[in-house]
Amino acid sequence: MHEYDLIADWYSSERIDQIGIPETVMLLSSIPPGSRILDIGCGNGIPITRALVRAGHTVIGLDSSSAMLERFRDNRPETPIVRGVVQACPFANRIFDAAVAWGVMFHLSRENQIQAIASVSRVLKMVAPFLFTSGDADDFEGKEGVMNGVTFRYFSFSIENYRRILGDQGFTLTDVHKDNGGNTYYVATKTFEGYG
């Protein structure tokens, strides 16, 4: 999607909160120090990538927006980044110990979300956790929302549908909860190789 190229400066000035950090810290408590983590839709690298790196992990950022990645490069010059889409993770099989996708999944259509979950499963090692945010009710048409004058669409599955789709792709959904801002957090563990 190109919409984030249009709002990259505005997004950086707005994303000064710590939303998602408690859940990220919780995820970190379940993996050993020095783990290799994929930060999907890493944006400008603040605050999620920064928290992962500060905790002593090796992080690779993946994002589809060149403008967001330019800001990332300014904020985190030493952290490797790759421009690409989560539906087709440009990495070898089973190389990551964990993956985080804050604020990404709900931008993808139903088909693309299924592809994304399959693709993340492919690049994760067994027992690796996957934390992502989305909605919690089926919305396949996509609700419209506007950020700094740019229109975005937001899609979601229900929790039960996410559980089923995750299960089809080798994950077991282990936790679902909401934060005060209405973000729903899904924590899944890769428990077997998915069906692709």
Shortest Å, Cβ 127 to ligand SAM = 24
Choice from 28, 48, 124, 187 touching ligand SAM (CB under 6 A): 48
- CA distances in angstroms from 29 to 23, 75, 99, 191, 196, listed in the order given: 10, 25, 14, 18, 29
- x/- mask, ligand SAM, residues 108-137, rule CB under 6 A, reads x-----------------------------
41 binds ligand SAM (CB under 6 A): yes
Q: Is 23 in the site for ligand SAM (CB under 6 A)?
A: no
Cα 32 to Cα 36: distance, rounded to the nearest angstrom: 10
Report if residue 98 touches ligand SAM, rule: CB under 6 A: no
Nearest Cα residue to 165 out of 133, 104, 100, 121: 121
Interface residue with ligand SAM among 103, 129, 135, 170 (CB under 6 A) is 103
Q: How many residues bind ligand SAM (CB under 6 A)?
A: 22
Between residue 126 and residue 185, which ones bind ligand SAM under the rule CB under 6 A?
Answer: none
Q: Is 1 in the site for ligand SAM (CB under 6 A)?
A: yes
Binding of ligand SAM by 42 (CB under 6 A): yes
- 133, 141 Cβ separation under 8 angstroms: no
Should residue 104 be labelled a site residue for ligand SAM when binding is judged by CB under 6 A?
A: yes
Residue 38 binds ligand SAM (CB under 6 A): no
Contact present, 39 and 87 (Cβ < 8 Å): no
Asked if 102 interacts with ligand SAM (CB under 6 A), we say: yes
Phi, psi of 96 (to 5 degrees): -105, 145
DSSP state of 125: P
| Beta-strand pair 139-147/129-134 | unpaired
On whether the CB atoms of residues 174 and 145 are closer than 8 A, the answer is no
Angstrom distance (rounded) from CA 162 to CA 154: 15
Kindly tell me which residue out of 38, 53, 68, 120 binds ligand SAM, with binding defined by CB under 6 A: 68
88 binds ligand SAM (CB under 6 A): no
27 part of the interface to ligand SAM, by CB under 6 A: no
